[in-house]
């Protein structure tokens, strides 16, 4: 019975943040420019407010300047578009992020289209996604969560080329770009979604599984080929009366079972989650360097 290597996303993210801190101060000292990230929070979802607060804290910790705008739930789409366009024109802002989801009366497409692709550090602009999908094209930015998944594989020296990879989930923000990234790295990729029949037969063929579903413990040990590498993006609350808040967070993968079969696995929490924010900071630094032509 094997015991999987635990892929420590928290530690890797810390290392990346340290690398970014060094680069931010080198940039400041050499050309007097501090990278800036603008975050637009629309409405009063508590989870979104928490994400925005964490992003701001992360910016502070590496020396990136953060700008925050809160737009009321009942505001018009035009109001959000005005904030976006203000940040598009602001030279001290190098990255713009609109926290999703937006209130239902707003058109997410319109708003994401309005973000300058030069400042699209979330990588959600259709031009950036389109370039990600095309051979021979380079997106300016790649979405943070899938980029974090690939970065974990790289930092643990896990080969991707020629491997069979399975992505569970096909959302615009995680599953779809994760599959595109794996394909760019020369994996052979299969995507599983809610209409897939017998998903366990497909996952059993996989050398690498990236799961972004949102179903607690859906992937059982029996779904996994011995020695496979598991990247679990899912963050799912499950009731737990022994926890202070009455719940705890688990992934899409049944960790207890999977860690006995896989060769390496990300925990939840402490796996992909911290990497997402690290990649956001990295994209913001990259953008500032690109705009100011600083190497």
Q: Does 233 bind ligand NDP (CB under 6 A)?
A: yes
Q: Which of positions 138-177 make contact with ligand NDP (CB under 6 A)?
A: 145, 168-171, 173-175
Q: How many residues bind ligand NDP (CB under 6 A)?
A: 25
Q: Which of 98, 212, 250, 280 binds ligand NDP (CB under 6 A)?
A: 212
Cα(102)–Cα(24) distance, rounded to whole angstroms? 31
Q: Does 216 bind ligand NDP (CB under 6 A)?
A: no
Is 295 a known active-site residue? no
Per-residue DSSP letters for 148-171?
A: HHHHHHHHTT---TT-EEEEE---
Query: 8, 55, 207, 252: which is the annotated catalytic residue?
Result: 55
Is 252 a known active-site residue? no
Query: 122, 207, 232, 252: which is the annotated catalytic residue?
Result: 122
Residue 234 CB, nearest approach to ligand NDP (Å): 4
User: Which of 10-18, 22-30, 219-227, 231-239 is the region at the interface with ligand NDP (rule: CB under 6 A)?
Assistant: 231-239
Cα(148)–Cα(279) distance, rounded to whole angstroms? 6
The tokens for 193 are 């979604």
Element counts in the chain: helices (H) and strands (E)? 10, 11
Burial 218-253 (b: 16+ CB within 10 A, else e): bbebebbbeebbbbbbbbbeeeeeeeeeeeebbbbb
Q: Does 48 bind ligand NDP (CB under 6 A)?
A: no
Q: What residues are paired with 264 via a beta bridge? A: 5, 229
Q: Which of 50, 92, 194, 222 binds ligand NDP (CB under 6 A)?
A: 194
Is 286 a known active-site residue? no
Q: Which of 203, 266, 276, 282 binds ligand NDP (CB under 6 A)?
A: 276
Cα(265)–Cα(276) distance, rounded to whole angstroms? 17
Binding site for ligand NDP (CB under 6 A): 145, 168-171, 173-175, 192-196, 199, 212-215, 233-236, 272-273, 276
């Amino acid at each position: 019975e094997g015991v999987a290597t635990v892929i420590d996303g928290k530690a890797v993210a810390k290392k990346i943040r340290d690398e970014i801190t060094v680069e931010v101060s080198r940039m400041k000292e050499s050309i007097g420019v501090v990278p800036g990230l603008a975050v637009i929070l629309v409405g009063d979802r508590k989870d979104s407010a928490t994400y925005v607060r964490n992003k701001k804290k992360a910016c502070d910790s590496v020396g990136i300047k953060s700008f925050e705008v809160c737009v009321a739930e009942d505001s018009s789409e035009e109001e959000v578009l005005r904030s976006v366009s203000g940040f598009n024109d602001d030279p001290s802002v190098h990255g713009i992020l609109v926290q999703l989801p937006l209130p239902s009366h707003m058109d997410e497409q319109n708003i994401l289209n309005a973000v300058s692709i030069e400042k699209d550090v979330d990588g959600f602009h259709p031009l950036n996604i389109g370039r990600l999908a095309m051979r021979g094209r380079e997106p300016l930015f790649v979405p943070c969560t899938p980029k974090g998944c690939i970065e974990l594989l790289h930092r643990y020296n896990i080969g991707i080329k020629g491997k069979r990879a399975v992505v569970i989930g096909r959302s615009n923000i995680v599953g779809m770009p994760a599959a595109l990234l794996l394909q760019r790295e020369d994996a052979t990729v299969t995507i599983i979604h809610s209409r897939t029949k017998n998903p366990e037969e497909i996952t059993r063929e996989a050398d690498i599984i990236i799961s972004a579903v949102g179903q607690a413990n859906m992937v059982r040990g029996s779904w996994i080929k011995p020695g496979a590498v598991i990247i679990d993006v899912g963050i799912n609350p499950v009731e737990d009366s022994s926890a202070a808040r009455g719940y705890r967070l688990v992934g899409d993968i049944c960790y207890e079972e999977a860690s006995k079969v896989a060769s390496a696995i990300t925990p939840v929490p402490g796996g992909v989650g911290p990497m997402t924010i690290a990649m956001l900071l990295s994209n913001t630094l990259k953008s500032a360097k690109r705009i100011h032509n600083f190497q």
